[in-house]
Amino acid sequence: MATLLHIDASVDLQGSNTRRWSSGFVARWAVANPQATILRRDLAREPPPPLTETFVRAIKTAPDVRSPAERDALLVSQALSDEFLAAERYVVGMPMHILTVPSTFKAYVEQVFHEGRVFKKTKGGFEGLLSGRKFLFFVSKGADYRHGTPLASFDMLEPYLLKLLAFCGVSQSDITFVSLNNALSPTGPDKTDEATAASRVDDLARHW
């Protein structure tokens, strides 16, 4: 049976758009998939620590000769990546921060996306190890980055996630973005985006 990992990255614990959409979706998906296991990772309530010099030394050192401090430095990474790899579906609440992903999500990626776990080296270069996994991102952006708008080319959030996952072997057809623009406007997120999001959620909750 499927295992879904629900990740939230918004630091807004009260009025977050991405938390509202990601948790609304997961609740509906869980009803349609009663046998599934749902794992939870909240990057605001438990921010992944930044990498340290000891961490980097540890990953360059063979496991059997690591010092106790080096072994300790890898514990968070091992736990987070074990949890990540236990799932094959991912629902992520993803606010835009400074044109891209929030720093807590980047810290999470640095802890989890390691050689031998999400990609491997080959004679020809690299091979992704995440093929077949599915990702659904609920994105909220303060301004408008839709195609054809002046800020469209400034959006480095969705392009970053697409490249990160493509590097790890995820097909573009297994990555879905449900995005809200203009979240900081006085009237709230764009109404067309909200209507599209609602209908995507209806469909995805039953078929994803």
- Binding residues vs ligand FMN (CB under 6 A): 10, 12, 16-19, 95-99, 140-143, 183-184
Nearer Cβ to ligand FMN, position 55 or 138?
A: 138
Tell the smallest beta-carbon distance from residue 97 to ligand FMN (Å).
4
Tell me if residue 59 falls in helix, strand or coil.
helix
Q: At what angle do helices 75-86 and 103-112 cross, to 10 degrees?
A: 90
Residue nearest to ligand FMN (CB): 142
Q: For residue 186, give the DSSP letter.
A: T
Q: Which residues make beta-bridge pairs with 6? A: 40, 91
Tell the smallest beta-carbon distance from residue 26 to ligand FMN (Å).
15
Nearer Cβ to ligand FMN, position 95 or 169?
A: 95
The H helix count followed by the E strand count for the chain is: 7, 7
**Which strand (E) or helix (H) includes residue 119?**
strand 119-122
Q: List Cβ neighbours of 120 (8 Å cut-off, separation of 6 or more).
A: 126, 127, 129
Nearer Cβ to ligand FMN, position 13 or 31?
A: 13
Tell the smallest beta-carbon distance from residue 67 to ligand FMN (Å).
37
Tell the smallest beta-carbon distance from residue 183 to ligand FMN (Å).
3
